[in-house]
Chains A and B, each alone.
Chain A
């Protein structure tokens, strides 16, 4: 022991080799990369909207003519009106359904409430494209239920090829968002307010209406703006159901004007994109304001005690049956029938299912090199791209929250900015960026352009999964490492990043799923050789290959289901919110 004392008290150690010079290049490099990534699609769009000819032509001149031209384009007013009606209807449907579900599944004694709540969430895990095909297979003109209905009654009362029809599909797929926000507020809100009302003699429904609902208002308002924004940006449903019926919204306008048309009018497309960007920026700003209010409201509540559930009484079972039917009709049927369709050569209520079961769709799908390649590309983009994006997001997060970097506030802002960039705008923007920048020609026809575009779009999503956990790691842990002689980068590598591993795994899983189902940006950017499942689905859809569409969609559903299940089982990760 005395020997130990002598040695520990010995001459001080030489100072550790100083690596402090590494800090600046890493931080500036990451910040610059993020800035370039986020600006890459935006600048070309904004630039294209104020010049008089395509970006790649010589002799451009600055002009505001595009805005005047857009305003006077025939039918553009109708496009804006359609967009507004579609988004507003979608939002109303989503909010009503989501709020009802939150109250019924979260606050009452309805049987099987947990299971119903889980099923209610399913649509957000899937891409709107796959959901559209699911709805088509069940409720389309030759859909399974449509035919069943036709065989008994007259023509069905529904028509998906209308604004209300489209809004119904979109509303159902966005209702989980409202549900999640209401749930997190309903469970936090102080139950004593409700209890007081009940004690003073108010009945169940009166209490729900007068007390619970007003308490949910901030959550409903915030998710309403969120859902309105998402429905503005929605491309799949208007593309599948709106276009054939001649109903154009902003996203489909951008798609047809920007890339799909015979002679794309870039000036118009870019101007429309700039307009959309402005609107969504405003909505995201509004979300920020409302979120601040929500937090204030929620923290008013006391302890996180679980409120006593309301008794539904005689209505318990009737309400359960209505909810079960709703889930069956809007969640189980579209997904289930689509998957069954994948394993059948033909699907009709008149023909027994067993007779038509086959794997033909899949064999046919994989015989076509394009489609096999699309599946493979989707995997590569999600697995490799997800990893690259996770690495970038981790770097941004440690710089923003764990460094003295001078520009960390601006970096934070830039990293979250893609929230305000709709997928279609990012698609158009990267499309222009490739045309504009000489160096990017190389990656033009590869999947790497997709990796870049997807990464840009999902930085905020990944950041949202990583930052809260990072802020829970005590700063003393990295300060201790610094004092002991580790420079900033060593501290990140050895201390902070290993401690963040669970958050990084969650981030990677979320990005994998998001990349795997992403199509909006991809359909602007893919080229022969770089197809992904989303683009191949649209391609097959246009050719009318319902069976192959179903098979490909089933693959996507299957992979995502496995990922979600694995993530929940293994890491206990919540993949939404």
Chain B
């Protein structure tokens, strides 16, 4: 059982608190993604698990083994942990061939030479790199190097697999293919994995669960659907997918699961409230995914179901290939959505379904780009 338990992990670099009391529980065979903006402490968390940096506080254990415990002063050096870490830079050793790179961890483990050879071939086959065993890293493409780096890590069957932005050096096409390939590999091997990325599509498509980090802290942990559909705060909503934020005030008590929000220009919007209670008079922020906002053509009736129709002013329109990107002003707040046809007039009428809005307490300074 290789379940990974991180409790209250803290790491400082001088004044900077890079990781601030982070707790994550990764079940055996689970694939968890750390997602967050640059500098939020993702790599630092991985380095702490791998033992490359000594944390300042907390506890890390894998299966029954304690890797680090600040209270007892336990700290296993990286070589004693049996983790697998694939670096963002791949870190293939330039003076060794692909074969030598991959066989290195087996040599360290004193695996008999016949078996060594067999296993290297096997793992190179797994990543489809058999024909390149005699090449040097600089003779490989970025995607091939990435696969060798992965093979070098898989060959010794690490207890947990740590991947630090393994796809970030690839171009968009290659990245797409590598993602599919990685998803296949992941179902086949079933290793306990922590995956670091700041690409939300990668995170959403690959993970069992996502940990969104912000400024060294955990903003939300949940399944991809949780994170996307029920973001815990405006930061998560903004970071995952494009989100439009509308400042407003609650008017009238929530009624039948719905609350009425008045925007700054006086227009009113009804939203569904489930968990969050909205006290009348309090300031709130409404968040909408662009795809949830509909355009109601002139003279057309609003769609059926609960929702509200509001009027917004058109600021900009741009053709982005097959679709139009429209910039709007709604009650003083910017709004962006994509439509099949460009809006004709200066004004558009929008359909905001009551189920599509997410309500956050207080005003927020998160602005959608």
Which chain A residues have a beta carbon within 8 Å of chain B's beta carbons?
A: 1, 3-5, 7-20, 474, 476-477, 479-487, 490, 494-495, 498-499
Q: How far is the CA of A332 from the CA of B190 in the complex (A)?
A: 74
| B residues less than 8 Å from A11 (CB atoms) | 157
Q: Contacts A477-B93, A485-B108: A13 and B189 contacting too (C-beta < 8 A)?
A: no
Q: Contacts A1-B126, A8-B126: A16 and B79 contacting too (C-beta < 8 A)?
A: yes
| B residues less than 8 Å from A1 (CB atoms) | 125-126
A551 to chain B, nearest CB (A): 44
Q: Considering only CB atoms and an 8 Å cut-off, how many residues of chain B contact the other chain?
A: 41
Q: How far is the CA of A150 from the CA of B2 in the complex (A)?
A: 93
**Could you say which of A5, A486, A494 has the most chain B C-beta atoms within 10 Å of its C-beta?**
A5
- Give the residues from 140 to 154 in chain B that come closer than 8 angstroms, CB to CB, to chain A: 152-154
> B52 at the A/B interface (Cβ < 8 Å)?
yes
| A residues less than 8 Å from B119 (CB atoms) | 7
> B276 at the A/B interface (Cβ < 8 Å)?
no
Q: How far is the CA of A499 from the CA of B94 in the complex (A)?
A: 8
A16 to chain B, nearest CB (A): 5
Q: How far is the CA of A279 from the CA of B89 in the complex (A)?
A: 48
B228 to chain A, nearest CB (A): 30
Task: Tell me which of B80, B125, B191 contacts A9 (CB under 8 A).
Answer: B191
| A residues less than 8 Å from B84 (CB atoms) | 483-484
Contact, CB under 8 Å: B110 / A480 = no
> B51 at the A/B interface (Cβ < 8 Å)?
yes
Q: Contact mask B157-175 → A, CB, 8 Å, 1/0?
A: 1110000000000000000
Contact, CB under 8 Å: B91 / A8 = no
Task: Tell me which of B80, B94, B155, B189 contacts A5 (CB under 8 A).
Answer: B189
Q: Which residue on chain A has the smallest CB distance to residue B153? A: A484
Contact, CB under 8 Å: B77 / A487 = yes
B141 to chain A, nearest CB (A): 19
**Could you say which of B51, B82, B119, B190 has the most chain A C-beta atoms within 10 Å of its C-beta?**
B82
Which chain B residues have a beta carbon within 8 Å of chain A's beta carbons?
A: 2, 50-52, 77-85, 87, 89, 91, 93-95, 104-105, 108-110, 119, 122-123, 125-126, 152-159, 188-191
| A residues less than 8 Å from B93 (CB atoms) | 477, 480-481, 495, 499
A569 to chain B, nearest CB (A): 23
A519 to chain B, nearest CB (A): 39
Contact, CB under 8 Å: A13 / B52 = no
Contact, CB under 8 Å: B108 / A484 = yes
Q: Contacts A477-B93, A495-B93: A483 and B122 contacting too (C-beta < 8 A)?
A: no
| B residues less than 8 Å from A485 (CB atoms) | 79, 82, 105, 108-109, 156
Q: How far is the CA of A495 from the CA of B87 in the complex (A)?
A: 16
Q: How far is the CA of A12 from the CA of B157 in the complex (A)?
A: 5
Between A and B, 9 residue pairs with Cβ closer than 8 Å are A13-B156, A13-B158, A17-B110, A480-B85, A482-B78, A483-B81, A483-B85, A486-B108, A495-B93
Q: Contacts A8-B157, A476-B91: A484 and B152 contacting too (C-beta < 8 A)?
A: yes
Contact, CB under 8 Å: B156 / A4 = no
Task: Tell me which of B52, B104, B152, B156 contacts A479 (CB under 8 A).
Answer: B52
A490 to chain B, nearest CB (A): 7
| A residues less than 8 Å from B52 (CB atoms) | 479, 482-483
Q: How far is the CA of A64 from the CA of B109 in the complex (A)?
A: 63
| B residues less than 8 Å from A486 (CB atoms) | 79, 104, 108
B293 to chain A, nearest CB (A): 44
| A residues less than 8 Å from B83 (CB atoms) | 483
Q: How far is the CA of A235 from the CA of B95 in the complex (A)?
A: 45
| B residues less than 8 Å from A7 (CB atoms) | 119, 122
| A residues less than 8 Å from B85 (CB atoms) | 479-480, 483
Contact, CB under 8 Å: A15 / B157 = no
